[in-house]
Amino acid sequence: MAFVVAESLAEQIANHLASRIIQGEMVNNERIQEARIVNELQVSRGSVREALLILERRHLITILPRRGAFVTELNAERVRGLYRLYGNLLEMLAEKLSWSCSDSDRQQLSGLTDKLRKSAAVHDENLFIEANFELISNAAEVADNEYLTTALENLRPPVQRALALAVRNNLSEMDETTSFMANLVDFALGDQIDKVSELVNGYFKRHSALVIQAIQDQSGTASR
Amino acid sequence: MAFVVAESLAEQIANHLASRIIQGEMVNNERIQEARIVNELQVSRGSVREALLILERRHLITILPRRGAFVTELNAERVRGLYRLYGNLLEMLAEKLSWSCSDSDRQQLSGLTDKLRKSAAVHDENLFIEANFELISNAAEVADNEYLTTALENLRPPVQRALALAVRNNLSEMDETTSFMANLVDFALGDQIDKVSELVNGYFKRHSALVIQAIQDQSGTASR
């Protein structure tokens, strides 16, 4: 039995469309035109459909039977539901990290925190989002609970989308998010796990409000 | 654009294999023989490979490059990691339920709790496991956080597998699990959300130990 490790065509199409949704080129409730993607990318209808099923699993599009596929509407309720779960998972991650971190793990995580800080300093949105999730993925690997790792991984696309929206609307959110992540890692590794819950709640309360504000600003612009 | 709602062949194969793993007919680390499945079910190699990728996403099999697919080893570490996350999600579920439950939702959940109780009373393993997840799915629908619903759904196969193992080893675990679930729903709906954390921790601590014991008993039997 040989499994192809390379990305399938459907995954490549899904990644392409995911970037466009995350970067805000495709907006809330926008209809996804299957035929147009087939033409633009010169791929088969079957691959596009498979890509759409992948994007549905990634919480980026919604498929309505007999009506088609649409960019999932990011609204206040979804943002709150998303961050409630995500914050909870980050708390679990910090707790598990606090037990299972070797010296070389610490060095690696501290290096990745520096990388995040640098990307925020130059205000590079894509670099910043990439560095943020590189830090989380690595922390999850160290924490070594594969179910938690998968759960975090599954939320990555909608969290990327919301975070990208927030930083486009307000560049200083890169610095806020960077200090949150740096504090989270510091508390986890510095045996201050009792401070994590307050940190997470405080950050996501403020951050959610900012994302919701960005959505409202965006829809105001669109309807003008 | 028309999406096929019916189960694909790959999903049917995946469900068939999932049942065999959950019911303990296929055991820890057992090699999955692709050619044998192709012959037994008279399906194409492509469909079987797709089914194996589905089962990998469901945490039931592990695919090793160039070595093949194996039933994921359920061991003490995995059981603890699984229940740490699952317990956490159930706490979130109870918390959200406590806010967003109408009278008709209450009636429905109480009906499903009765159904669970009845299935435990007759000690029917399959009926019991089905009733348990029917209650959780319905509670998740009422709680109405789609990210939480998906996260719970994604853990269903490994939790089913661990729960089935526990009740096969110790029938009374059906009653224990039933009272846990009934208490969880009661606390959530009866505004006693402050009691949920202790309930969840107590149940999963005991239940994890039981599953780990069942795994040890099983491997003892296998190696005899």
**How do residues A81-120 score in pLDDT, each as one tens digit?**
999 999 999 999 999 998 888 889 999 999 999 999 999 9
Report the number of distinct structural domains present in chain A. 2
Q: What is the pLDDT of residue A191?
A: 87
Q: Does B146 touch chain A (CB under 8 A)?
A: yes
Please report the sign of the dihedral spanned by the C-alpha atoms of residue B196, residue B199, residue B200, residue B201: positive
ipTM: 0.92
For residue B76, the surrounding DSSP H or E stretch is: helix B76-99
Taking one residue from A and the other from B, the number of pairs with CB-CB distance under 8 angstroms is: 73
Q: Please give the Cα distance from B172 to A150 (Å, whole number).
A: 32
The alpha carbon of B5 is separated from its chain's Cα centroid by a whole number of angstroms, namely 23
CB B28 within 8 A of CB B61: no
Regarding whether B114 and B91 lie in a shared domain, the answer is yes
pLDDT tens-digit readout, A125-167: 999 999 999 999 999 999 999 999 999 999 999 999 999 999 9
Q: Does B162 touch chain A (CB under 8 A)?
A: no
Q: What is the pLDDT of residue A2?
A: 44
Regarding whether A187 and A88 lie in a shared domain, the answer is yes
The share of chain A scoring above pLDDT 90, in percent, equals 88
Are A155 and B148 in contact (CB < 8 Å)? Answer: no
Q: What is the mean pLDDT of residues A63-84?
A: 95
SS3 A61: strand
Give φ, ψ of B6 to 5 degrees.
Answer: -60, 155
Q: A172 pLDDT exceeds 60?
A: yes
Residues 79-108 of A with CB under 8 A from B: 81-82, 84-86, 88, 92, 96
B2 part of a folded domain = no
Q: Does A155 touch chain B (CB under 8 A)?
A: yes
- Look up the domain containing B190 and give its range: 76-223
Q: Please give the Cα distance from B94 to B186 (Å, whole number).
A: 9
Query: What is the DSSP-derived secondary structure letter of residue B72?
Result: -
CB B82 within 8 A of CB A147: yes
CB A85 within 8 A of CB B92: yes
Across chain A, mean pLDDT equals 93
Regarding whether A196 and A100 lie in a shared domain, the answer is yes
Q: Does B76 touch chain A (CB under 8 A)?
A: no
Regarding whether B131 and B85 lie in a shared domain, the answer is yes
B3 part of a folded domain = no
Regarding whether B28 and B82 lie in a shared domain, the answer is no
- For the full predicted model, state whether its pTM sits above 0.80: yes
Q: A219 pLDDT exceeds 50?
A: yes
Regarding whether A218 and A160 lie in a shared domain, the answer is yes
Q: Does B63 touch chain A (CB under 8 A)?
A: yes
The beta-carbon neighbor of B81 closest among A59, A68, A147 is A147
Residues in Cβ contact with A121 at an 8 Å cutoff, skipping those fewer than 6 apart: none
SS3 A63: strand
Q: Does B2 touch chain A (CB under 8 A)?
A: yes
Residues in Cβ contact with A180 at an 8 Å cutoff, skipping those fewer than 6 apart: A199, A203, A207
Are B145 and A92 in contact (CB < 8 Å)? Answer: no
Angle at A78 between CA A76 and CA A82, to 5 degrees: 120
Q: From residue B99, how far is each of A87, B63, B68, B138, B190 by CA, in Å? A: 19, 41, 47, 15, 11
Q: Please give the Cα distance from B162 to B170 (Å, whole number).
A: 12
B173 part of a folded domain = yes
One DSSP character per residue, B158-213 reads HHHHHHHHHHHH-TTHHHHHHHHHHHHHHHHHTT-GGGHHHHHHHHHHHHHHHHHH
Q: Which of A19, A51, A71 is the last residue of a domain?
A: A71
Regarding whether B179 and B95 lie in a shared domain, the answer is yes
More confident residue, A4 or A221: A221
Give residue A221's pLDDT band: very low, low, confident or very high (50, 70, 90). low
Q: Does B7 touch chain A (CB under 8 A)?
A: no
Residues in Cβ contact with B164 at an 8 Å cutoff, skipping those fewer than 6 apart: B22, B23, B24, B125, B129
Are A81 and B146 in contact (CB < 8 Å)? Answer: yes
CB A135 within 8 A of CB A109: yes
The H-assigned helical ranges of chain A are: 9-22, 34-41, 45-57, 76-99, 103-121, 125-143, 146-169, 173-189, 196-223
Q: Which of B71, B97, B118 is the last residue of a domain?
A: B71
Give φ, ψ of B190 to 5 degrees.
Answer: -100, 20
Q: Please give the Cα distance from A143 to A188 (Å, whole number).
A: 11
Q: What is the pLDDT of residue A4?
A: 45
SS3 B73: coil
Q: What is the pLDDT of residue A99?
A: 85
pLDDT tens-digit readout, B102-140: 889 999 999 999 999 999 999 999 999 999 999 999 999
- CATH number of the domain encompassing residue A188: 1.20.120.530
Q: Which of A71, A88, A111 is the last residue of a domain?
A: A71
The beta-carbon neighbor of B154 closest among A82, A154, A158 is A154
Q: A5 pLDDT exceeds 60?
A: no
Which residues of chain B are under the pLDDT cut of 70?
1-6, 221-224
Q: Please give the Cα distance from B214 to A201 (Å, whole number).
A: 39
Q: What is the pLDDT of residue B221?
A: 66
Residues in Cβ contact with A189 at an 8 Å cutoff, skipping those fewer than 6 apart: A97, A98, A101, A106, A109
Question: Order of strands across the sheet with B68-71?
Answer: B31-32, B68-71, B61-64
Nearest-CA distance A147 → chain B (Å)? 6
Q: What is the pLDDT of residue A224?
A: 47
Are B145 and A65 in contact (CB < 8 Å)? Answer: no
Regarding whether A86 and A58 lie in a shared domain, the answer is no
Regarding whether B89 and B60 lie in a shared domain, the answer is no
B28 part of a folded domain = yes
- CATH number of the domain encompassing residue B52: 1.10.10.10
Regarding whether A134 and A115 lie in a shared domain, the answer is yes
Regarding whether B24 and B42 lie in a shared domain, the answer is yes
More confident residue, A39 or B218: A39
Query: What is the DSSP-derived secondary structure letter of residue A25?
Result: S
Q: What is the mean pLDDT of residues A4-15?
A: 82
A148 part of a folded domain = yes
> Among B126, B91, B90, B16, which Cα is nearest to B60's?
B16
Q: Please give the Cα distance from B35 to B40 (Å, whole number).
A: 9
A128 part of a folded domain = yes
Regarding whether B158 and B61 lie in a shared domain, the answer is no
**Candidate ranges A62-71, A212-221, B1-10; pick with highest mean pLDDT:** A62-71
Nearest-CA distance A224 → chain B (Å)? 31
B175 part of a folded domain = yes
Q: Please give the Cα distance from A80 to A70 (Å, whole number).
A: 21
B152 part of a folded domain = yes
